């Protein structure tokens, strides 16, 4: 998946209700000539993405496409 970052919701840290462990995530939305897709980056992978990323082109690899609220998400 490659595209221009439209927005970055920043990093959030939460506690899992099922096992009590903390986890971090960073949510981005990117756009290319076919449309937009939401990207969620988890835990230690967050540091691999620069802090100032909006309006820059990124390429994500080795991810998993899911459907979230009826829309594809990476």
What are the pLDDT digits (tens) for 32-63? 999 999 999 999 999 998 989 999 999 988 88
* CB-based contacts of 65, cutoff 8 Å, min separation 6: 72, 73, 74
Angle at 39 between CA 47 and CA 8, to 5 degrees: 65
Contact 60, 1 (CB under 8 A): yes
The Cα–Cα gap between 13 and 2 comes to 26
Q: Where are the domains of the chain?
A: 2-57
- Residues 9 and 28 sit within 8 Å (Cβ to Cβ): yes
Is the pTM above the cut of 0.85?
A: no
């Amino acid at each position: 998946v490659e595209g221009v970052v439209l927005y970055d919701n920043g990093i959030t840290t939460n506690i899992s209700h099922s096992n009590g462990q903390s986890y971090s995530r960073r949510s981005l939305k990117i756009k290319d000539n076919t449309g937009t897709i939401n990207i969620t980056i988890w835990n230690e992978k967050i540091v691999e993405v620069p802090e100032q990323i909006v309006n820059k082109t990124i390429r994500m690899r080795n991810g998993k496409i899911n459907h979230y609220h009826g829309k594809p998400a990476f």
